Amino acid sequence: MDLETTILVLEGISRKNLRKTSSIRVGIGLKGFSHVRKFKKGNRIEDRRIFPNPSRTIVSEAKYPFLASLCRTGIVFRQRKQRIQNCRSRTADLEKIEFMKLARHAEIWLLPYLKDRLRKKMNGRKPRRAWVAVTDHFEPLGTGATEQVARARLARWRDRWPRIAAAGPQDAAGQCPQYSFFYPQEDYRRELLEGLAEMVRLGLGDVEVHLHHDYEQRDSFIHKVTEFCSRLSGDHGLLRQQNGRTVFGFIHGNWALDNSRPDGRCCGLNGEIALLRDLGCYADFTMPSLPSPTQSRVVNQIYWCTNNADNRPRSFDHGVEATVGGGCRGDLLMITGPVGLRFANRIRPRVETGEIAGYDLPTPARVRHWFDLAPTIGDDLFLKLFTHGAADKNLAPLLDGGLANLFHWVAEEAQQRGIELHWATSWQMYQAADALIQEREQAVPAESVNP
């Protein structure tokens, strides 16, 4: 039985016994947290929340074999107004066991997150360099916008972004803040791409591949990606060459990488990881995808994933962590952003994913949390943030102070921690990671655009 999704559903309990067991706390074994589910009318869940709880009881295999067989090692189980051992005599009341989804799909990512936090606390290694990239799912034609609206959105970016970058703090190499526009293949318009290419030629960012699709077939996917990369490279001078072929970074639309949605929508293509590798994808930047159920079970790591041998979906759920000198250990490098819990004087925590949005702009506290959560390779920290910068709800907040504050607070936090800061495009971040993985002498990014 899966530790991460085990929830008990009580049925056939009398009103008298139900009053005694009206609140059951179930959580994953880390001090200070419990997951609360209140049961009424037998099996109807009325409430669920995560909150600090200093007291806990670990299910023991020896003392409570029945409960342990259900919950497995590590599950926290406590009952109010009734001792746990009484449950052993009431096995008939536990007539049904179901797999339930937790809030924000925590059954997928919470345990890996807790393990990562514990590992980092025990390790105690402090990074010496930080590579910071902002990846934008840049969709000027999103939400059904007309081309006129899309051009107006792009015009705002062409006007404001060069000023924000020029006014931002320079990094250790004297480079201004960078930005990565992941532009959707299905929304290709020559005029819009050329506007982005002008900013790239100014040395202010880069353009990569974004794609939304549904009920996709293998041949059509290959055609879409190949044609789009050819246009970006040949018509606009974007992307770059590596080992004799055009390569690109990738973000999957609607988060559904490798056909990972439970209903199979917004992709439909099994074996997508292997296809991306063959088409020239140097790294995927989709994760994290919370609160979507497409979220990977690997969090706060840069890792290698390998396409499932039988082309089952969600190949990225498992992988090999990238290490210094470890070399290539899979089909595709996954560069993920921070995942965690943010309390900020809240009883119920908020999920942190590194998203920059109008409703959740950067703050000094968030920046500190990002530095604590971000993946590392050796002494280098990799902070990948994301946004949807062309959407009206985010465009003005980002360009009218949000991004400027972000770069200022990131530089300030790096200075306070004594970390050497490097602004990076997605390609430069990959180059820095690859230099460490291949154990080259210096983790210095190459030119981000074809000459």
Is residue 216 included in any domain, yes or no? yes
pLDDT of residue 96: 30
50 residue type, one letter = I
Same domain, 221 and 355: yes
Is residue 244 included in any domain, yes or no? yes
User: Can you give the residue range of the structural domain that contains 391?
Assistant: 110-437
Same domain, 155 and 56: no
For residues 96 and 189, which has the higher predicted lDDT (pLDDT)?
A: 189
Same domain, 56 and 141: no
As a whole number of angstroms, the distance between CA 132 and CA 35 comes to 34
Specify burial of residue 203 (Cβ count, 10 A radius: 0-12, 13-18, 19+). middle
Can you give the length of the chain in residues? 451
For residues 316 and 53, which has the higher predicted lDDT (pLDDT)?
A: 316
Distance from CA of residue 170 to its chain's centroid? 27
Residue 51 has pLDDT above 60, yes or no: no
pLDDT > 70: percent of the chain: 75
pLDDT single digits (tens) 357-405: 999 999 999 999 999 999 999 999 999 999 999 999 999 999 999 999 9
How many domains is the chain built from?
2
Residue ending a domain, choose from 100, 133, 154: 100
pLDDT of residue 442: 56
Averaged confidence pLDDT in the chain:
81
**Least confident window among 23-37, 285-299, 341-355:** 23-37
Residue ending a domain, choose from 100, 121, 156: 100
Same domain, 370 and 422: yes
Same domain, 93 and 144: no
pLDDT of residue 102: 62
**Residues ≥6 apart with Cβ < 8 Å to 401:** none
Residue 450 has pLDDT above 70, yes or no: no
pLDDT of residue 56: 34
**Least confident window among 67-71, 257-261, 305-309:** 67-71
pLDDT classification of 101: cutoffs 50, 70, 90: low
Residue 83 has pLDDT above 70, yes or no: no
For 101-123, what is the mean pLDDT? 87
Is residue 382 included in any domain, yes or no? yes
pLDDT of residue 329: 97
Same domain, 287 and 346: yes
For 136-150, what is the mean pLDDT? 96
| The two structure tokens encoding residue 360 | 């959740």
| CA dist list (Å): 301 to 114, 318, 326 | 13, 11, 14
Is residue 49 included in any domain, yes or no? yes
**Residues ≥6 apart with Cβ < 8 Å to 429:** 131, 133, 335, 382, 384, 445
Same domain, 221 and 94: no
Same domain, 173 and 195: yes
Is residue 334 included in any domain, yes or no? yes
Crossing angle for the helix pair 190-201 and 147-167, to the nearest 10 degrees:
10
pLDDT of residue 347: 75
For residues 266 and 441, which has the higher predicted lDDT (pLDDT)?
A: 266
For residues 13 and 389, which has the higher predicted lDDT (pLDDT)?
A: 389
For 146-168, what is the mean pLDDT? 98
Is residue 447 included in any domain, yes or no? no
3-state secondary structure the chain: CCHHHEEEECCCCCHHHHHHCCEEEEEECCCEEEEEEEEECCCEEEEEEEEEECCCCECCCCCCHHHHHHHCCCEEEEECCCCHHHHHHHHHHCCEEEECCCHHHHHHHHHHHHHHHHHHHHHCCCCCEEEEEEEEECCCCHHHCCHHHHHHHHHHHHHHHHHHHHHCCCCCCCCCCCCEEEEEHHHCCHHHHHHHHHHHHCCCCEEEEEECCCCCCHHHHHHHHHHHHHHHHHHHCCCEEECCEEEEEEEEHHHCHHHCCCCCCCCCCCCHHHHHHHHCEEEECCCCCCCCCCCCCCCCCEEEECCCCCCCCCHHHCCEECCCCCCCCCCEEEECCCCEEECCCCCCCEEECCECECCECCCHHHHHHHHHHCCEECCEEEEEEEECCCCHHHHHHHHHHHHHHHHHHHHHHHHHHCCEEEECCHHHHHHHHHHHHCCCCCCCCCCCCCC
For 146-174, what is the mean pLDDT? 98
Is residue 448 included in any domain, yes or no? no
Same domain, 94 and 241: no
pLDDT classification of 441: cutoffs 50, 70, 90: low
Is residue 377 included in any domain, yes or no? yes
Residue 168 has pLDDT above 70, yes or no: yes
For residues 449 and 287, which has the higher predicted lDDT (pLDDT)?
A: 287
For 162-173, what is the mean pLDDT? 98
| The two structure tokens encoding residue 322 | 């990238």
Residue 296 has pLDDT above 60, yes or no: yes
- CATH number of the domain at 238, please: 3.20.110
Same domain, 141 and 27: no
Same domain, 164 and 73: no
293: preceding bond cis by omega (within 30 degrees)? no
Residue ending a domain, choose from 42, 67, 100: 100
Same domain, 79 and 187: no
pLDDT of residue 35: 37
